[in-house]
Structure 1
Amino acid sequence: MTDVLDKPASAGTRGVARGGLANMAGSALAGGTGVAVTWIVARSLGAEQAGAFFAATAAFVLGGGLAKLGTQTGLVYWPARLRATGREHLLGACLRTGLTPVLALSLLLGATMWLAAPAIARTTAHEAAHVVGAHTAGLRVLAVFLPLQALTDALLTATRGYRAMRPTVTLDRILRSTLQLLLVALAGIATLSLPWFAAAWVAPYLPVTVLAAYALKKVYRAGKPPGVTTTRAERRGLQRDFWKFTGPRALASVAQLALQRVDVLLVAALGGLAAAAVYAVAGRFVVLVQLANQGISQSVQPRLAEALATGDRRAANHLYQTATGWLVLVAWPICLLVIHLAPFYLRFFGDGYVDGKTVVVVLACAMLVATGCGMVDMVLAMAGRTSWNLANVLVALTVTIGLDLLLIPRYGALGAAAGLACAMVANNLLPLIQVGRAVGLHPFGRGTRAAALLSLACFGALPLFHTPGLIASVPAFLIGVWLLRGHLALEAFKPMRRTR
């Protein structure tokens, strides 16, 4: 396997494997706790109140995404680029350039969400007037914590710009998600109302923000060159370049979040809170797959930025293809199993959610296409094509909103699923073509092909033989992974041998 054993590429892959494995473990925990939180809310609050909770958290995530101003890309790209080009003395100015506007805008948006809470509640709960008061209170609880959510993500993003994956794993994936599960479980045991569930879900952002700030301070001090000062012209030039790169990504990140969250709000407004609850529950596995994608891509991102900054396309392509193979190996079995087991998956949340079977199938098929392209939007952004990335996401957002407005009034949650599926396909195929033509990268290495064929055989074909096939699918998959470990570059996960 000459391409994998190439020393520079292998070194980068080993670094990605170490960070990605920790991130994947944390993402698995966060995904599991997220499913558990969804189950508790669905079981404890009933369909209408659960729909109000999911609509409120969707508005909260949208507001936080807007406040971050695309810095989840800029605060990785620029620290990595500054270090790769020998300009470490500008790292402090870079962090201030990215973090200060996030703090200011998040405070403004938190106040706006507080004031707009009654209007949002009336719009999304118009068919359930008795829920409006609790819905408004829940939105206002979330509004208070919105600045902390935006700051948490921005601070942890900046630590990843230093290749530090541990703060993201320990603070966001483990600590926050575990605290959310514990507090929401306590709210369920005490049979509290919707606003208390919102408070339980959002409260962990307070300690996590404080600890994330400390983690960034620590890695910044460790990497700060001694006795080097910056000139005013350098700082201004950096600010200009930072926002020239990050500005389009800011709009793209908001559109990307809207692509993921606005459908819940539209289903609530056009189809009712009960339909929104069904849609949110049916699509919960999508968040699990997205966390797996983040777990790998966040480890790849700084190394990919450094490779592209120095013009090393061979290393960049190797990282992209290897990471896509790992993503397919994790994500496709989840999607294929969810397709086969959709009725059992939905009944886990309650009998009232079984009608979402077709929603699950539509979204799972779209996720197969999306994950098969790898983290292509991130690759496009790390190549400096943030304006292209913005255009792609706006196209996808237009597709999903247009189809939602057309289909939700008639088909409810299924209409929203169709809109999101078409948008996901567009949002991955468009950048896939652009990355191939403009940058010369593609995700279809032999690791990706091996992972796809193995997943289709074990979790697509074998379950067609009903219970015996399902039982055989997991051991067959594990055997196949072992036999294809060379093609999948799994030796990158082995500990490196020490040499004299």
Structure 2
Amino acid sequence: MTAATVEATTGAARGGLANMAGSVLAGGTGVVVTWIVARALGPEEAGAFFAATAAFVLAGGLAKLGTNTGLVYWPARLRATGQNHLLGACLRTGIPPVAVFALALAVTMWLAAPWLARLTAGEAPHVVAQHTAGLRVLAVFVPLQALTDVLLTVTRGYRSMRPTVLLDRVLRSGLQLLAVSAAGVAALWAAASLPVFALAWAAPYLPVVILAGFAARRAYRSGLDLEGTPTRTERRRLRRDFWVFTGPRAVAAVAQLALQRVDVLLVAALGGLTPAAIYAVAGRFVVLIQFANQGLSQSVQPRLAEALSTGDHDAARRLYQVATGWLVLVTWPICLLVIAFAPWYLRLFGAEYAAGVPVVLVLAGAMLVATGCGMVDMVLAMAGRTSANLGNVLIALAVTVGLDVLLIPRWGALGAAIGLAGAMVVNNLLPLAQVHHGTGLHPFGPGTLCAALLATACFGTVVVFPAALVVAVPAYATGAWLLRGRLMLAAFRRNR
């Protein structure tokens, strides 16, 4: 292994460990927030809350215009090719359009709120009024959400994971938990209000976006090259290349978010708010695993972009395989434990949510496949194949919407779970074939295979015999230690 590959792997490990730790915290607080909302609002209004937040996340994802990839790929590429003097022009190309489009989407969401509420909540006047008010509260925060994500993306483009971990994973999720908890406590003495919970959930974006702006400015100034000034031709070429690369990713990013969120809206519209609440609660663990995947991929992304932009496929392959092994090591035990204990943990949200056990089983099985492919979607994008990435996500979205429309009216939340599971399989296997065909990269290195076999051996028995958990945990820790060489765990402690 070359020194550059070792440095890249170690850097990814350090950033990925911090990001995954923050992601676990954010995912854990998200589960607690879901529990508070489910207990305080009841299934029907909780379903309206989850539908409103799904619309909010979709609007914010659309507003980012794919810059969450472009503002990592292009700074990494410019630095790797000695064009640091174009970094400022790159940021000015990506950030202002997001701010303008986010404001337009916020106004659109505000005006469309009554229609969205009737679409997902039916004609019950009280629920429609609460749902409309909740959507309008969230609409105010759409620009703050989009700018927070974009500014933190800028810091990751400079290989700095700390702002994302501290500001998004720790501060924002922590403030959300505190604010929603306060709303839950207030609901003990007064009637629970969906708009109040929506405000408590979204308000943390205000302080976080301000701090993210300072972090992005500091990251930019730390890499500033004062010796060169871009010409008008260079700026024009950069704008063209930036949006040619980012444009397909903008649509793909929205479609990717739709894969994760549109199913809640479809369940609410086609099956009712109570099934939507059951589906959202039962599938909450998927968000936790996606956070872990996102946390690791965000650390690997700039290093992978640099390796591929300079033609170092050996380093890119090593990064992809090692990171996938780490991802499987963390996420497969979660999937298998969720399968084993679904009937028990769902009852914590209320007796009504126990009906979500089949949903958990279907989604957990799909997540085993998805995490086994690693961050293949990101690898395809960093290889410059954003158009193929767009096609894959659109196919997967068509699969989930088609299956949802067909199955939700008959099977409710389970129908949506089948639709999402089908989409996850498609959206991982298609890019996996394309990445391997186009670059020769694949995620199945020795670390990935060891992690998969170890997780299956230790936690597969827990699915059949839940009491085996007492033995499975120490056995898993011991196995990971014995296999630390193949899993490249030493990268987490090596001095840089």
Maintained 8 Å contact 1:159/1:216: yes
Identify the residue that residue 373 of structure 1 maps to in structure 2.
373
CA–CA distance in structure 1, aligned partners of residues 131 and 206 of structure 2: 22
> Which shifted more, 146-155 or 454-463?
454-463
CA deviations over 1:23-67 (Å, ceiling 9, x no partner): 011001101100000000000000001000000000000000000
**CA apart distance, 1:462:** 4.3
Maintained 8 Å contact 1:141/1:199: yes
Residue 19 of structure 1 is aligned with which of 15, 40, 46? Answer: 15
Identify the residue that residue 490 of structure 1 maps to in structure 2.
489
CA–CA distance in structure 2, aligned partners of residues 354 and 462 of structure 1: 20
Maintained 8 Å contact 1:48/1:128: no
Secondary structure of 1:487's counterpart equals helix
Identify the residue that residue 113 of structure 2 maps to in structure 1.
117
Aligned amino acid, residue 113 of structure 2: A
Identify the residue that residue 349 of structure 2 maps to in structure 1.
349
Secondary structure of 1:380's counterpart equals helix
CA deviations over 1:198-245 (Å, ceiling 9, x no partner): 000000000100000110101111111124211111100000000000
Alignment of 1:71 with 2:67, yes or no, is yes
Aligned amino acid, residue 108 of structure 2: T
Identify the residue that residue 287 of structure 1 maps to in structure 2.
287
Aligned amino acid, residue 313 of structure 1: H
Given the superposition, is the C-alpha separation of residues 128 and 487 from structure 1 closer, same or farther in structure 2, using an over 3 Å criterion? farther
**CA apart distance, 1:350:** 1.1
CA deviations over 1:309-328 (Å, ceiling 9, x no partner): 00000000000000000000
Unaligned residue ranges in structure 1 (runs of 5+): none
CA–CA distance in structure 2, aligned partners of residues 122 and 476 of structure 1: 52
Identify the residue that residue 141 of structure 1 maps to in structure 2.
137
Unaligned residue ranges in structure 2 (runs of 5+): none
Secondary structure of 1:233's counterpart equals helix
CA–CA distance in structure 2, aligned partners of residues 328 and 127 of structure 1: 45
Identify the residue that residue 85 of structure 1 maps to in structure 2.
81
Identify the residue that residue 260 of structure 1 maps to in structure 2.
260
Aligned amino acid, residue 219 of structure 1: A
CA–CA distance in structure 1, aligned partners of residues 295 and 60 of structure 2: 20
CA–CA distance in structure 2, aligned partners of residues 136 and 436 of structure 1: 47
**CA apart distance, 1:465:** 3.0
Maintained 8 Å contact 1:307/1:316: yes
Maintained 8 Å contact 2:341/2:466: no
CA–CA distance in structure 1, aligned partners of residues 335 and 11 of structure 2: 28
Alignment of 1:452 with 2:452, yes or no, is yes
Aligned amino acid, residue 331 of structure 1: T
**CA apart distance, 1:167:** 0.5
CA–CA distance in structure 1, aligned partners of residues 123 and 404 of structure 2: 18
Aligned amino acid, residue 169 of structure 1: V
**CA apart distance, 1:388:** 0.1
CA–CA distance in structure 2, aligned partners of residues 315 and 260 of structure 1: 31
Aligned amino acid, residue 280 of structure 1: A
**CA apart distance, 1:463:** 4.3
Instruction: Return the TM-score normalized by structure 2.
Output: 0.98
CA–CA distance in structure 2, aligned partners of residues 371 and 134 of structure 1: 38
CA deviations over 1:129-149 (Å, ceiling 9, x no partner): 420001000000000010000
Maintained 8 Å contact 1:463/1:473: no
Work out the percentage of aligned pairs sharing the same amino acid: 72
Maintained 8 Å contact 2:340/2:466: no
CA deviations over 1:283-322 (Å, ceiling 9, x no partner): 0000000000011000000000000000000000000000
**CA apart distance, 1:496:** 1.2
Maintained 8 Å contact 1:463/1:470: no
Give matches, 1:417-456, under 5 Å. Answer: 417-456=417-456
Identify the residue that residue 218 of structure 2 maps to in structure 1.
218
Aligned amino acid, residue 369 of structure 1: V
**CA apart distance, 1:345:** 1.7
Maintained 8 Å contact 1:462/1:472: no
CA–CA distance in structure 1, aligned partners of residues 201 and 124 of structure 2: 23
Identify the residue that residue 156 of structure 1 maps to in structure 2.
152
Secondary structure of 1:225's counterpart equals coil
Aligned amino acid, residue 404 of structure 1: D
**CA apart distance, 1:127:** 5.6
Instruction: Return the TM-score normalized by structure 1.
Output: 0.97
Aligned amino acid, residue 226 of structure 1: L
Maintained 8 Å contact 1:127/1:272: no
CA–CA distance in structure 1, aligned partners of residues 335 and 132 of structure 2: 35
Aligned amino acid, residue 476 of structure 2: F
Count of aligned pairs: 492
CA–CA distance in structure 2, aligned partners of residues 57 and 138 of structure 1: 9
Maintained 8 Å contact 2:339/2:463: no
CA deviations over 1:111-154 (Å, ceiling 9, x no partner): 00000000000000006442000100000000001000000001
Alignment of 1:477 with 2:473, yes or no, is no
CA–CA distance in structure 2, aligned partners of residues 463 and 376 of structure 1: 28
Aligned amino acid, residue 66 of structure 2: G
Secondary structure of 1:486's counterpart equals helix
Identify the residue that residue 49 of structure 1 maps to in structure 2.
45
Aligned amino acid, residue 490 of structure 1: L
CA–CA distance in structure 2, aligned partners of residues 137 and 77 of structure 1: 39
CA–CA distance in structure 2, aligned partners of residues 479 and 227 of structure 1: 53
Maintained 8 Å contact 2:336/2:463: no
Give matches, 1:295-306, under 5 Å. Answer: 295-306=295-306
**CA apart distance, 1:461:** 2.3
Residue 58 of structure 1 is aligned with which of 54, 59, 75? Answer: 54
CA–CA distance in structure 2, aligned partners of residues 472 and 129 of structure 1: 53
Identify the residue that residue 176 of structure 1 maps to in structure 2.
172
Given the superposition, is the C-alpha separation of residues 127 and 285 from structure 1 closer, same or farther in structure 2, using an over 3 Å criterion? farther
Maintained 8 Å contact 1:458/1:474: yes
**CA apart distance, 1:7:** 2.6
Secondary structure of 2:280's counterpart equals helix
RMSD (Å), alpha carbons:
0.9
CA deviations over 1:154-193 (Å, ceiling 9, x no partner): 1101110000111000000000000000000000000141
Give matches, 1:33-44, under 5 Å. Answer: 33-44=29-40
**CA apart distance, 1:11:** 1.3
Aligned amino acid, residue 253 of structure 1: A
CA deviations over 1:338-359 (Å, ceiling 9, x no partner): 0011101211111110000000
Maintained 8 Å contact 2:56/2:139: yes
